[in-house]
């Protein structure tokens, strides 16, 4: 397992949420991986490389960032979640 897989596996097992250190590491390993930022006024997807700047801008605007996580469409979840037997092959389509 490489460093990126190790980081993503740990994040998924811990609920999918990033710390600031995790985000910095993700930006080094996979700068274009999308993360979900939830804050006072809503939520948006952004590339890992731009996340720290976006968080800083949000906080300067007086708002609070609630959390940063992997979106449910991230391929990492396909490795960790098992489909219910009734879903058959349709599960793969939902994970994309």
Mean pLDDT, the chain, integer: 86
For residue 88, is pLDDT > 70?
Answer: no
Both structure tokens of 54: 């976006």
What does the pLDDT look like over 24-68, one tens digit per residue?
999 999 999 999 999 988 999 999 999 999 999 999 999 999 999
Strand partners, 17: 69
Higher pLDDT, 51 or 82: 51
For residue 78, is pLDDT > 90?
Answer: no
Range of the domain at 26: 3-94
The total domain count for the chain is 1
């Amino acid at each position: 397992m490489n460093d990126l897989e190790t980081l993503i596996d740990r994040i998924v097992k811990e609920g999918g949420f990033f710390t600031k250190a995790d985000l910095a590491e993700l930006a080094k390993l996979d700068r274009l991986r999308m993360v979900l930022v939830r804050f006072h006024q809503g939520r948006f997807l952004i590339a890992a490389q731009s996340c720290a700047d976006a968080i800083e801008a949000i906080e300067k605007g007086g708002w609070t960032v609630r959390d940063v996580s992997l979106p449910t469409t991230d391929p990492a979840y396909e490795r960790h979640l098992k489909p219910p037997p009734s879903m058959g092959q349709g599960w793969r389509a939902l994970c994309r």
